[in-house]
Copies of this chain bind each other. A is one copy, B any other.
């Protein structure tokens, strides 16, 4: 255990310039440390399109009133977060997305950007805000019409009307179309009767339902004139001013959860509760006084998905918040790893800084690269979201693309958040397990992100089906010759234009890899080719496997699909990874500063190679990499880690977090102070001549 170390590299002034004058890839850590990133510029890059709003939000949450208090019992935590929501209102942070006439700013991108930063204060606050203004309020805004906006939006913004978003039921989560709650129109009284006919139809897991919600947007099967028109949304008052349930309404507290215990999740049930016809949020479907149903969207399926799609912002928001939460964990663990020492190297030197260990570099650096990729990909997603919801690019095609993009990115970023935070917690040892150092709390709070607002596997399956249908469109009426041509030549960018895949617009300058032949085969365009080729091939393979389905009966076809479900989900994951890689590359290409560009290019390469290594067996089996080249992937990653090691602190400092955002004692400099104190003690002891000699050295003398 005591002979494992390299020393932290020292800055060098040597410069290698080859005969031709072109830059040569540095091969040693000393050389790699020469270029430096422009930290402030990288912070701007990561904060993205709505950097100003993000900075405002970060400034706001420097106030300790917004901070999570570790170990606070659930009841107090819930009240604290409710009070924090009021603080958000006071700070004008509650309504950036709402129409100007109700006090909002009509700025959808900025709104989500601002809320995502709140995760730094307390994820419970971010999610409870999301319930109030992103789900409950958005349902009114997106699914309701002007009369509903006039009636409720102002009170939603000010929190005078706290509400729950009552979609999920105990018996139905991802399959919203099959919920059991009914809203039956009664033309006699011009009312809807809201009813949960069995236990499985109870609304469940709803924030604001256990305590604070005065009303709810309730999703129910709309039944009028003996016909079920599918799921629609209704505004249903829940509690009186004293907080008591209104007649016919009951509920339960979901109690303690794995995290997010500042939110009062609960269950609701309705026993023939009557609400006026007015309360149906009727933008996409209307019921006349006599019970006649009308809708602009004739297809029940398309209408359902249009309504759900109007609520996509939850997924967009989770993608961003998970990315920021992951960054916080990486900042903490990397800062600690740069100060903490453990074991001497056996070379008679000081104990070794954790990040100088090869394994520790391998644990953290690829995760920083992955997190950077998520930042760039998220900004693209947020811009697409803003384009659609501002009305600037609001077409059905754009909406569908947005939904697919959100469904591809949210699973990856939320899963990455959990695995990265866990790795960070383990990399900090026992200190990482203390709540004060925040890593365990982040993991607990972000845990549910992977299954809410769409279970990650279900979302990826949606993406997979979109990829399959884009693929199939190419072959409408195609002959065998065309199919064969496709199989050998077509590029992914041409096939999947709809879902965001594209060719790189230019040859990416790859400063890090001109000198070594092995790296020559793994430069940016080869990375892209491997990643894109994998998506293309996987989709084609699943499509080929499913081709017989059209000739089977429904049960056999379902069984066939089921046999390939896991592969389809894998294809969708590969697609999401490619999107992240492309976004990262686009971001790097736009950088002007040479040092920044060089280091970020290495980081992008590390991300690309990390993805290729993860799926190395696939690339080998499918003949995309020779065994020789495949073997070089891991070695190249090792070299990239060594190159990037001197930049690790810069890269996590570039997240731009202030001490008020980090708040982890182990990342505060306290560890450095302890190391310095210990070394000063031993130095003084040695100088004093009173230091005990070691038994070992005595034995050697004998």
Say yes or no for A600: interface residue by CB 8 A criterion.
no
Q: A674–B346 contact, CB under 8 A?
A: no
CA distance A561 to B6 in the complex (A): 9
Q: A450–B434 contact, CB under 8 A?
A: no
CA distance A32 to B2 in the complex (A): 52
Say yes or no for A455: interface residue by CB 8 A criterion.
yes
Smallest Cβ-Cβ distance to A260: which chain B residue? B433
Residues of B within 8 A of A254 (CB): 434
Residues of B within 8 A of A596 (CB): none
Given contacts A433-B447, A698-B227, contact A198 B681 (CB under 8 A): yes
Say yes or no for A226: interface residue by CB 8 A criterion.
yes
**A652-696 to B contact mask, C-beta < 8 Å, 1/0:** 000000000000000000000111011001000000000011111
Q: B358–A565 contact, CB under 8 A?
A: yes
Say yes or no for A152: interface residue by CB 8 A criterion.
no
Determine which of B257, B561, B677 lies in contact with A200 in the assembled complex, contact meaning CB atoms within 8 Å.
B677
Residues of B within 8 A of A170 (CB): 674
Residues of B within 8 A of A698 (CB): 227
Say yes or no for A10: interface residue by CB 8 A criterion.
no
Q: A359–B457 contact, CB under 8 A?
A: yes
Residues of B within 8 A of A462 (CB): 1
Q: A566–B674 contact, CB under 8 A?
A: no
Say yes or no for A175: interface residue by CB 8 A criterion.
yes
CA distance A204 to B434 in the complex (A): 11
Say yes or no for A558: interface residue by CB 8 A criterion.
yes
Q: B362–A258 contact, CB under 8 A?
A: no
Given contacts A444-B444, A674-B199, A678-B171, contact A435 B255 (CB under 8 A): yes
Q: Could you say how many copies of this chain the assembly holds?
A: 2
Say yes or no for A102: interface residue by CB 8 A criterion.
no
CA distance A675 to B170 in the complex (A): 10
Interchain Cβ contacts under 8 Å between A and B, 6 examples: A173-B429, A223-B692, A227-B692, A257-B433, A358-B563, A425-B447
Please report A residues at the B interface, Cβ cutoff 8 Å.
1-7, 70-71, 73-74, 168, 170-175, 177-178, 180, 197-201, 204-205, 221, 223, 226-230, 254-259, 261, 293, 300-301, 342-349, 351, 356-359, 362, 418, 422, 425-426, 429-430, 432-436, 439-441, 443-444, 447-448, 450-452, 455-458, 461-462, 465, 553-555, 557-559, 561-566, 569, 613, 616-617, 620-621, 623, 627, 630-631, 638, 673-675, 677-678, 681, 692-696, 698-699
